[in-house]
Amino acid sequence: MKSQDHILDEVFNHFLKGSKIFRNREVLRHDYVPDNLPHRKEQILHLGEITAPALSGSPCSNVLIYGKTGTGKTAVVKFVLNKLTQKAKELGSTVNVCFVNCRLAGTEYRVLATLCTNINIKVPFTGLAVGEIFDRFKENLESQGIIFIVALDEIDALVKVRGDSLLYELTRINENLQRSKVSIIGISNDLKFKESLDPRVLSTLSEEEIVFKPYTADELLDILMERAKIAFYNDVLTEGAVKLCAALAAAEHGDARRALDLLRVAGEIAERRGEKKITETHVREAQERIEHDQVYEAIKSLPTHSKIILLTAYFLSKFNTDRSVTGEIYNLYSEICEQLGVSPLTQRRVSGLINELDILGLLNSRVISLGRYGRTKKIGLGVPRKVIVEVLSEDERFRAIFNYKPKYLMALPE
Ligand SMILES: Nc1ncnc2c1ncn2[C@@H]1O[C@H](COP(=O)(O)OP(=O)(O)OP(=O)(O)O)[C@@H](O)[C@H]1O
Ligand SMILES: [Mg+2]
């Protein structure tokens, strides 16, 4: 039962913060692990069965976990490993669990250093060769006599940059251990990453596989409702709003992260306006804002020449030319490069970059037939011009270019 103290705290905080919307904003953060994960019972049980032998001191199978972004892989693994750790403590089992995000760790060295720290092996921040740390890790591990469960989240990041040598060593390590054993849980949303693994590593790593399917709109609705109960005050969230969040996220690719983001941003919009309820209008605005931010980030992180190609498409659109075919783009691109004091890439490279921008949706290209003159590509901007101005003007190198009148375009016949 709630104590009266607690109720008052809530009232005071509520008043002080001025929010009439959020009871607890934290539970909508990406790294929050809820106590209940609807529609993942099967995966939780499966991973539970795989890891359970560790509780009685036996090694468990390695497992690869797959599924698109936002399908609950990280949440499920953290959930199961937290429960396992609790149970191991109760039983006094010699199990250690270490969860590492390989993308955030960045290097093999840091992944390995994290594993070492987890079992109290001291390693310097830098300075040792990876092989040297690995030996230290192995010796110390053996002397501790434990089952070490290692979860490598976003494992593809490790392999993409460094190849699979650390994974190779880790999947072989048990051959040289008597008293301790290592079990690996690999997690990835990149299905192609399997192809980049040495077949021996792949077969050891994927003794078991668990697949996470995208959520349906109904499943997302259940997830959102659970979270909304904690996140918002009663009666703040309208049914239409939460259903819309679920439907929009399901239409994308069944991504629970997107659904929760929509809910949070919609709540923030309502709060900022001092409104009492979150409605569908707020959700639609949230959707626009999230998409805008994504486009913004995508453009900002492009390499220079891709930005210049976008600028080229910007000018073609601004001067309303019909000449946005590959060859024309290249001429204008070269002029803009010159104007910026950058040497242009070859036409071939530029074509490659145009394809990449097309895949990102920042450009739209369409192949058109020129009858007996063959075919060409017609290229247009995939985002509003003002977004290009907004993002690229933040970069000093590009600020002045927006007032420029390209000679190439001026010289074209009407
Ligand atoms: N079944 C569920 N119940 C409640 N919340 C969930 C569920 N599935 C996912 N979530 C929440 O959705 C968000 C995204 O989930 P998670 O981080 O586990 O996705 P992921 O599959 O690891 O995605 P990525 O491949 O991008 O890392 C998290 O905030 C998580 O708490
Ligand atoms: Mg994840």
Q: Taking the chain (414 residues) in consecutive chunks of 10 residues, what is each chunk's mean pLDDT?
A: 66 66 90 91 97 94 95 96 96 94 90 94 82 92 95 91 85 93 95 84 93 96 95 94 96 93 95 91 96 92 95 88 72 93 94 89 81 77 92 91 86 66
Closest approach atom of ligand 1 to CA 153: 27
CA 249 to chain centroid, in Å, comes to: 15
Closest approach atom of ligand 1 to CA 68: 25
Instruction: Pick the residue whose CA is nearest to atom 16 on ligand 1.
Output: 72
Q: What angle do CA 56, 59, 63 make, to 5 degrees?
A: 125
Question: CB-hemisphere CA count at 13 Å for 86?
Answer: 7
What is the reported pLDDT for 334? 95
Instruction: Pick the residue whose CA is nearest to atom 4 on ligand 1.
Output: 37
Residues 217 and 250: beta-carbon distance below 8 Å: yes
Q: What share of the chain is helix, strand, coil (3-state, %, to 5)?
A: 60, 10, 30
Q: Which residues are near ligand 1 (CB < 6 Å)?
A: 30, 32, 34, 37-40, 67, 69-75, 189, 223, 256-257, 260
Which residue's entry shows tokens 């995508």? 298
What is the reported pLDDT for 366? 79
Distance 268 CA to ligand 1 centre (A): 21
Ligand nearest to the CA of 27: 1
Any idea of the CA torsion for 8, 9, 11, 12, to the nearest 10 degrees? 120
What is the reported pLDDT for 192? 80
Closest approach atom of ligand 1 to CA 256: 12
Distance 9 CA to ligand 1 centre (A): 30
What is the reported pLDDT for 377? 75
CATH numbers and ranges of domains, the chain? 41-212 (3.40.50.300), 215-299 (1.10.8.60), 302-410 (1.10.10.10)
pTM over 0.85: no
By the 10 Å C-beta count (0-12 exposed, 13-18 middle, 19+ buried), 295 is classed as buried
What is the reported pLDDT for 19? 67
Strands 63-67 and 147-153: unpaired
Task: Annotate 361-390 with b (16+ C-beta within 10 A) or e (fewer).
Answer: ebbebeeeeeeeeeebbbbebbbeeebbbe
Token pair in block for residue 247? 């439907």
Distance 69 CA to ligand 2 centre (A): 7
Distance 201 CA to ligand 1 centre (A): 27
The string of pLDDT tens digits covering residues 212-258 is 999 999 999 999 999 999 999 999 999 999 999 999 999 988 999 99
What is the reported pLDDT for 345? 96
Instruction: Pick the residue whose CA is nearest to atom 9 on ligand 1.
Output: 72
What is the reported pLDDT for 18? 62
Q: What angle do CA 223, 73, 230 make, to 5 degrees?
A: 30
Contacts of 88 (CB under 8 A, 6+ apart): 54, 55, 94, 95, 97
C-alpha to C-alpha distance for 179 and 229, rounded to whole angstroms: 47
Distance 102 CA to ligand 1 centre (A): 17
Ligand nearest to the CA of 212: 1
Instruction: Pick the residue whose CA is nearest to atom 26 on ligand 1.
Output: 69
C-alpha to C-alpha distance for 92 and 82, rounded to whole angstroms: 15
Distance 113 CA to ligand 2 centre (A): 21
What is the reported pLDDT for 13? 66
Distance 258 CA to ligand 1 centre (A): 9
What is the reported pLDDT for 195? 82
What is the reported pLDDT for 3? 59
When computed from its CA atoms, the radius of gyration of the chain, rounded to whole angstroms, is 27
Eight-state DSSP code of residue 22: B
Positive/negative CA dihedral, 39, 43, 46, 48: negative
C-alpha to C-alpha distance for 301 and 303, rounded to whole angstroms: 7
Which residue's entry shows tokens 């569908």? 280
Any idea of the CA torsion for 243, 244, 245, 249, to the nearest 10 degrees? 110
